[in-house]
Amino acid sequence: MPHLDRDSVSLYYEDSGGNGLPILLAHGFGASTGMWRGQVEAFRERYRLITWDMRGHGGTECPDEQSLYSQRHTEEDMAALLDHLGIDAAVIAGHSLGGFMALAFNVRYPGRVRALVLQGCGPGYRSDRARETWNQRAESRARSLEDGGLAALGGNSEVTVSRQNSAAGLALASRGILSQVDARVIDSLPGIAVPTLIIIGDRDHDYLVGSDYMAKRIPGAVNVVVADAGHGVNVDQPEAVNKALGEFLAKL
């Protein structure tokens, strides 16, 4: 099983090995590489798809030290993975937390981003009060995982097709990666200079407003709302998502 060792962290990833445009796919909180299986199978002949597990998730191994979990660590993990695979720039795609991290990666490493695909996510918050409310939810989620184990993840479709090894690792990720720290991502939207595809399910009520907000502020963004789909839109309606993704990628 492929891993990239960074300091005391062993990042799990899967590389389709294709010769086409590279696409780095990041999962959402509580999901893992498995959530992208339908997209890897559909596009692996035309593109090079790389999926990976964030710290605390799936097959990635990380010590139980809170200081090793942060958005900055995640951005650096993404860059290190591209370096390890000999990729200068890629399409950076992500779902939910992974979509936010795709935006954060673009803020820090804009020269390494060919395009963005943002699925079922928001851009964070400019208001300290709103950010604190979100962080209280992240802390509550961490505690529920510590108290209830992996059963506390719930049954979103992208979660049920993923595998997890450690509720404790997910709790650390909730406090360190899911928590919001500043407004750099939401402030970056008008300056995004790469093609951007936004995808969301019409029943993903927690993120419809944030998705629309991004679509209005990212220059030239393509916004696709998929019917009869929840938060895990690419799992709920893979054909519709693959159609939108294929049309977008064909224009790059």
Which pTM does this prediction carry? 0.97
The stretch 7-29 carries a mean pLDDT of 94
How much is the pLDDT for 156?
83
How much is the pLDDT for 144?
96
Residue 21 pLDDT > 80, yes or no? yes
Does the structural domain 3-250 have CATH classification 3.40.228.10? Answer: no
Task: Encode pLDDT of 197-241 as tens digits.
Answer: 999 999 999 999 999 999 999 999 999 999 999 999 999 999 999
How much is the pLDDT for 154?
82
Give the per-residue SS3 of the chain: CCEEEECCEEEEEEECCCCCCEEEEECCCCCCHHHHHHHHHHHCCCCEEEEECCCCCCCCECCCCHHHCCHHHHHHHHHHHHHHCCCCCEEEEEECHHHHHHHHHHHHCHHHEEEEEEECCCCCCCCHHHHHHHHHHHHHHHHHHHHHHHHHHCCCHHHHCCCCCCHHHHHHHHHHHHCCCCCHHHHHHHHCCCCEEEEEECCCCCCHHHHHHHHHHCCCCEEEEECCCCCCHHHHCHHHHHHHHHHHHHCC
The stretch 146-169 carries a mean pLDDT of 91
